[in-house]
Chains A and B, each alone.
Chain A
Amino acid sequence: MAKNFLKFEYLLLFAVFIIATCGLIYELVAGTLASYLLGDSVKQFSFIIGVYLFSMGIGSFFAKFVKKNQLNTFVEIEILVGLIGGLSSVILFILFEKVDYFQFILYLLVFVTGCLVGLEIPLLMNILKEKVKFSDLVSNVFTFDYIGALLASVLFPLVLVPKFGVMKTSLFFGMINISVAIALCFLLSKDLKRPILLKFKAIFAFLVLIFTFLFSDQILSYSEQKLYGENIIFTKATPYQRIVLTHTKNDYKLYLNNNLQFSSADEYRYHEALVHPVMATAKNIENILVLGGGDGLAVREILKYKDVKNITLVDLDEGMTSLFASNTILKKFNHNSLTDSKVKVFNKDAFLWAKEEKNKYDVIIIDFPDPSNYSLGKLYSLNFYKSLKKIATPETVVVIQTTSPYFAPKSFWCINNTVKEIFPNADAYHVYVPSFGEWGYTIASNNSNTDFSKVSRKVGGLKYYDYQYKKLNFFPKDMIAKDIEINRLDNQILVRYFDEEWGKL
């Protein structure tokens, strides 16, 4: 009998240890996610710890109302903590993309987990109080509680996050949590009421977690975390590309198919240089066309000009434009540009769209991905620029992101020469964007009298561009390439140049 009782006591104390470990893990997961996703880690961690401790207090307070079936309630809470804590990271990752009230959900989850963990210790003490001397009980329970906490706080940053990633860590500890519940169900079968139902609940919860665990690779690719060497806070696979948002310190980076699209720290250089020279020099700026640029960052710059009446944005990927129109963090980057009433978004293939389009545009801004494959290469072909010409007026000015004249001079001048075949008045310029390197653009117009350095209008508040076009269009020797062919659909020479040049790196 005494032996049995010993087993009963140690089993429950072991449970305390596990609960404490798991509880702290959930708290750390929430804190980490909050700082990944929302930035400002000091604030986030501080808030999370505060809310967590507070909610534990609330849980403890309510523990006194549990009078009947204490052991059953204890096991049930164990299952619930495992399920909610374990799934919390998954829920947060999924919701981050979709909802505005992300912070609410975050703190709600922290609160619920805290309450449940807070309930457990007093409950356990109630269960054991008749069987163990009170002083022993208190000291034992708290000893195991704090050992668990230490273990969790050491393991979490050193082993768990680097090895498993945040999502798998929380799922894994959810499973441990529930395993303890399952073990209790079986070992304390006699002391429990309706043990079969409880066993069923526990096993079911365990299966939910294991299933999520197995598919967590799909939710967040663990391998990519390693690839980027940054915290991935969001990934999304659309039919066209894989969108990955990462965060380190105060810098967010967006990758499309593993290629850096922008870094929040310096994207203003890229987008100011893309938009303002052409907006300053164009004769009219009423109707603006943006091809690509589903991130809305170019549109943000265009909207600074009050004379602009309509902006048409054509981006293939609905997943991309809707993400940048709805996600809180991403909307901060583009200043809600995609939901502006002047902006019309079409999720169409730019080439096919341009062939069908009947309207004409005063300014055309092209921000396509680099020509890294034959599909994308079509968007830099002679034929594509021919179809652009049809939607341009004689006064229209076109600007095209033209990859790096430093890393890929042949590619750069290939695009420039191809444009020149169709728009005879074409020039090139480049800027330094720290996260990309030297980056270049082609600017072109039908009208041979268009002077790209002429400034017809300006807006204030730019961080980089000072409307001195002449400062940007000088190319030193190492950014020049000669004897470059024209890129046509039937030769796609650009893709070859590009592969040769970027492949070398």
Chain B
Amino acid sequence: MKNGENYNVRTRRTFLKSISAGIILASIPTFFNACKEKVITFAIRLSGTNHILGHRLRTKDFPKISKTIEIPYLIIGGGISGLSAGRQFKKKGIEDFLILELESSAGGNSRNGENKYSKYPLGAHYLPLPNIHDKELVQFLEESQIITGYQEGFPIFDEEQLTFMPQERLFFKNTWQESLVPKFGITKTAEAEFNRFFEKMADYREKRGKDEKYIFDIPLASSSQDGNFDFLDKISMKEWLIHNKFISEELYQYVNYCCRDDFGLGIDFISSWAGIHYFASRKHNATKEKTENVLTWPEGNARLMNHLKEYSKDKIFTNHLVYETKLEGENVIVKAYDDFKKESVSIRAKKVIFATPQFINSYLLPDRLNITKDFHYAPWLLATMTVIDLDDNNSYPLCWDNVIYGAKGLGYIYNQHESLGQIQEKKVITYYYSFSTNDLKRSRKELLTKPEDYWKELIINDLKIAHPDIENVIQEIDIQRIGHGMISPVPGFLSGNSRAEASRAIENKIFFAHSDLSGISIFEEAFHQGINAVNKILE
């Protein structure tokens, strides 16, 4: 309709208090609440990466080989880098390759779950609009019908796959406001600091080295190599903020949030080069209006993963744990345990791509512990909740990304945000929590051993800040635990040698592709890692 004069008038419920009714009125709600509290129980499930099978690498106690397979090209690991390698093989006209995946389905951190009401991510869940000079990625987005055409030289992104408005909100000082950067309730000094910070980032975004390459680009490998900005990798992001005379608490919180979001660890632990890369590597040059939007789907990056998977149809062996690799003459012998059939297989391949993280590779290849000790992985916890409703103070409507200032976690995603429908029967949200500590091993142990009630309490207390009645509306919680969630670029890692060493091919037979070799855990890096490994093989 049609609104006329009554727009903006809000209904105020006033209660008539009559003498006798008052007393009863007052007692009724408490009576109902007492009943309600008793019946509130909700299903809670703990799941995660298959660490039990993975941890068998430590003992290597597997049955004898009962089958031998020969294949020219073998990819170990069916995450984004492995699937991207599969796509590249296919595009180069190569069909005889196989992918081995430990989990029961491919996808790595880009897998998804689904319940009665919605799909939801089990890890990565969005892709920022690509840099227009990232031709490979743009090409892939075209293949996947995410870019549907071009207008005035700019790609047209499918409207349904861009984040709908309203995109982001922040719960700050007891009220929601648009965008993750607080605009209301902060001091003039803080506001000026935010502006100064973003100006600095805009400068870095345009900066190029002597080789004419951007200092900060995606993939990282395309960034300038002239070393002039290596000093940024020697200090933490927090130190950088201090050196640059930033003092506002709100800015620190914001930058800390951004670092945890992309690297798992916060400003105390992340190198300032990486921290700045977060802000400066995306050039916002894919649209005429310099839009900073992102692409997202209810199932998160599982959408992109499935597009990649299309190229490796029937070539993915799931539930396969590789436990040994040996060079043998012209071949590489890879032994894997099929956890489904409970048998071991031996695969003879000409070229093998290890699309596996380095902490795994140290179990599969000799003498790598020294290389991999510099790779730090932040653990993550995701909790997908089905809620009856999500009441808050209506200060700004529910967004795709909802962040609570000062909370322990990173807020939550509204998974049905990309629905075209008007109303959802139940809402499905996914809460993200990264362990930002200096003892990641301990955090990982905690993640593995603490009972579900411990996590439930942590999540609920965190969300209660913005949704006081959250406990009463949750119907279901699915907790996904990821022990090695993402590579964390601590100071020295990006400018050091370990990435290059870990990436070096072995006897032109074993190649490496994984986002941890880039040093940051984003879709684009994994995507390029896969392509580059294949290109190296076919050189």
Contacts and interface: CB of A to CB of B under 8 A. Distances in A.
Interface string A341-366: 00000000101100100000000000
Contact of A239 (B8, B28, B420, B423): B423
A57 interface: no
A492 B159 contact: no
Interface in B120-175: 159-160, 162-166
Interface string B1-29: 11111111111111110101100110010
B451 interface: no
B7 A214 contact: no
B9 A258 contact: yes
B421 interface: yes
B59 interface: no
Interface in A83-107: none
Contacts of A170: none
A331 B292 CA distance: 51
A358 B423 CA distance: 23
B49 interface: no
Interface in A364-405: 369-370, 372-379, 381-384, 401, 403
Nearest to A351: B420
A502 B4 CA distance: 9
Contacts of B423: 239-240, 316, 349, 375
A259 B421 contact: no
A221 B14 CA distance: 9
B420 A352 contact: yes
A221 B12 CA distance: 10
A221 B4 contact: no
A240 B422 CA distance: 9
A260 B162 CA distance: 33
Nearest to B424: A375
A217 interface: yes
A353 to B, nearest CB: 10
Given A222-B14, A240-B422, A351-B421, A260 B6 contact: yes
Nearest to B295: A490
Name which of A221, A369, A374, A490 has the most chain B CB atoms within 10 A of its CB: A490
A153 B13 CA distance: 29
A490 B420 contact: no
A73 interface: no
A197 interface: no
A374 B165 CA distance: 7
B165 A491 contact: yes
Contact of A369 (B1, B21, B159, B165): B1
Contacts of B16: 164, 168, 217, 222
A163 to B, nearest CB: 9
Contact of B2 (A260, A349, A489): A260
A259 B3 contact: yes
Contacts of A256: 1
B72 interface: no
B397 interface: yes
Given A374-B165, A378-B164, A488 B159 contact: yes
A157 interface: no
A224 interface: yes
Interface string B268-301: 0000000000000000000000010100000000
Contacts of B21: 210, 213-214
Given A223-B11, A505-B7, A349 B1 contact: no
Contacts of B10: 258
A255 B5 CA distance: 11
Interface in A491-505: 491-492, 495, 502-503, 505
Contact of A259 (B1, B160, B291, B293): B1
B97 to A, nearest CB: 37
A213 to B, nearest CB: 6
B5 A260 contact: yes
A261 B413 CA distance: 34
A227 interface: yes
Given A213-B21, A261-B1, A375-B422, A490 B8 contact: no
Name which of B4, B13, B421 has the most chain A CB atoms within 10 A of its CB: B4
Interface string A146-179: 0000000000000000001000100010000000
Nearest to A504: B8
A239 B389 CA distance: 12
Chain A, interface size: which category?
A: 35 or more
A374 B164 contact: yes
A351 B159 CA distance: 14
A391 B516 CA distance: 48
Nearest to B7: A502
B2 A436 contact: yes
B14 A378 contact: no
A370 B2 contact: yes
Contact of B8 (A381, A489, A502): A502
A435 interface: yes
Nearest to B13: A223
Contacts of B15: 217
Given A222-B14, A403-B3, A373 B397 contact: yes
B322 to A, nearest CB: 42
B14 A489 contact: no
Nearest to A224: B11
A270 B2 contact: yes
B159 A505 contact: no
B13 A259 contact: no
A418 B3 CA distance: 21
A148 B165 CA distance: 62
A424 interface: no
Contacts of B422: 240, 316, 349, 351, 375-376, 378-379
A17 interface: no
A446 to B, nearest CB: 19
Contact of B421 (A223, A352, A435, A502): A352
B4 A437 contact: yes
Contacts of A172: 18
A439 interface: yes
A259 B166 contact: no
Interface string B23-64: 011001000000000000000000000000000000000000
Nearest to A435: B4
A403 B159 contact: no
B7 A255 contact: no
A502 B3 contact: yes
Nearest to B165: A492
B420 to A, nearest CB: 4
Nearest to A491: B165
Contacts of B25: 214
Contacts of A355: 420
B9 A227 contact: yes
Contacts of B24: 210, 214
Nearest to A242: B11
B165 A383 contact: no
Name which of A223, A262, A495 has the most chain B CB atoms within 10 A of its CB: A223
Given A222-B16, A378-B420, A490-B159, A258 B6 contact: yes
Contacts of A213: 18, 21
Contacts of B8: 502-503, 505
The 7 closest A-B pairs by CB, nearest first: A492-B165, A490-B162, A351-B420, A383-B159, A260-B4, A349-B421, A489-B164
Interface of B: 1-16, 18, 20-21, 24-25, 28, 159-160, 162-166, 291, 293, 397, 420-423
Given A260-B6, A349-B423, A372-B7, 17 more contacts: A210-B24, A213-B18, A222-B14, A223-B13, A239-B423, A240-B422, A240-B423, A259-B6, A260-B2, A352-B420, A352-B421, A369-B2, A384-B420, A403-B2, A488-B159, A490-B163, A502-B3
7 contacts: A227-B9, A378-B422, A383-B159, A439-B2, A489-B159, A490-B165, A490-B291
Interface of A: 164, 168, 172, 210, 213-214, 217, 221-224, 226-227, 239-240, 255-256, 258-262, 270, 316, 349, 351-352, 355, 369-370, 372-379, 381-384, 401, 403, 433, 435-437, 439, 488-492, 495, 502-503, 505
